Amino acid sequence: MALVKKDKYNVAIVGATGVVGQTFIKVLEEYKFPVGEVRLLASARSKGKVIHCFNRDIVVDEVNEDAFKGMDISLFSAGGEVSLKWAPIASKYTLVIDNSSAFRMDPKCPLVVPEVNPKDITKEGIIANPNCTTIQSIIPVKALDDKFKVVRINYTSYQAVSGAGMKGINDLKNTRIGEAPQFFPYNISKTVIPHIDTFLDNGYTKEEMKMVNETRKILHKPSLAVSATCVRVPIENSHAVSIAIELEKEFTIDEVRDVLSNYPGIVVKDDPKNNIYPVTDYSNGNDLVYVGRIRKDLSVKNGLLIYCVADNIRKGAAANAVQIAKYLIEEIL
């Protein structure tokens, strides 16, 4: 159902007990989003659990169709299978913003980062939230594309364990105290792992192809040359991405710094002589993308290297979704 302008919006949160679900709540509270009734939904395991938020105690329910009736917005982050089953049902009653990968490449579903393609936001249906690494990368990429036209991108990511949810965080904590890995294929406390999500026949992982395909969709450039290598690293939170970009137009580093500094959502941290570059100390707990290590790629004409860090659970997931809803109610309705 199409969202209409109201004083307060009733919100259903699917996956409310998870890492991203809990952050949906935190961000809605911090942003003072005009929330009316709230329904918290998860699996049967969490039914009956009480969560205190929005100045009230809310009892978690198992996802069910009736729970979406009377709601205005549904925020989903309970994995692809739950979204595939329940997001179409929820969209009969509410606008859905889905953090899973289930609908990202569906041509009927916009894939949105508010700083980049807010005009794609719709009032109804399912809006997909991009992959965490795509979100933080596409913001500086779009800033550069607007000014210098991006012709080729090669991403390398360094991704925190929180991107894999509670299971990922627990595996890092437990392997640090000597337990055997339960989730990652190797002991994440002792190695970086160049393997996120499953491998495909082309030798890339699904995570890597998400970065490729989502970049093209968000920029509306279906044949843009993009490739990616995604690596899990032994830190709890905030992803880093090294981005090699080939630009059509010539540029100076000062021009690039200027373009990035003036783009919404970006903070430039680039003073290497004083050890200033993007680190998780900056990004953890907020919704900005920190960009630095800005330099010419010595291997190709008009090549640029940049490095960015962002909180993968906030800007890479929950905050981006809430910002989509905020943009919709403030700028579109």
Residue 163 makes contact with ligand A2P by CB under 6 A:
no
- Give the list of residues 6+ apart from residue 332 with CB closer than 8 angstroms, or none: 121, 123
Residue 105 makes contact with ligand A2P by CB under 6 A:
no
Contact 117/129 with Cβ under 8 angstroms? no
Binding segment for ligand A2P (CB under 6 A), chosen from 163-171, 172-180, 256-264, 312-320, is 163-171
Residue closest to ligand A2P when measured from CB atoms: 18
Phi, psi of 17 (to 5 degrees): -90, -5
- Closer to ligand A2P at the Cβ: 23 or 280? 23
CB of residue 306 to ligand A2P, shortest distance in Å: 29
Tokens 């205190």 belong to residue: 52
By rule CB under 6 A, what string of x and - marks binding of each residue 106-145 to ligand A2P? ----------------------------------------
Residues 254-293 that bind ligand A2P (CB under 6 A): none
- Closer to ligand A2P at the Cβ: 259 or 317? 317
Among 46, 74, 100, 156, binds ligand A2P (CB under 6 A): 46
CB of residue 145 to ligand A2P, shortest distance in Å: 32
Helix (H) or strand (E) holding 291: strand 289-296
Both tokens of 64, joined, read 């069910």
Binding segment for ligand A2P (CB under 6 A), chosen from 41-49, 211-219, 272-280, 302-310, is 41-49
Beginning with the edge strand found earlier in the chain, give each strand of the sheet holding 303-310 in spatial order.
225-232, 150-159, 239-247, 303-310, 289-296, 266-268
> Residue 254 in 3-state DSSP?
helix
Residues 74-103 that bind ligand A2P (CB under 6 A): 78-79, 82
DSSP string, 57-90: EEE-EE--GGGGTT-SEEEE-S-HHHHHHHHHHH
Distance (Å, whole) CA 28 – CA 37 = 13
- Counting residues that bind ligand A2P (by CB under 6 A) gives 17
Distance (Å, whole) CA 51 – CA 58 = 5
Q: Which residues are catalytic?
A: 132, 239
DSSP 7: S
Contact footprint for ligand A2P (CB under 6 A): 15-19, 21, 42-43, 45-46, 63, 78-79, 82, 165-167
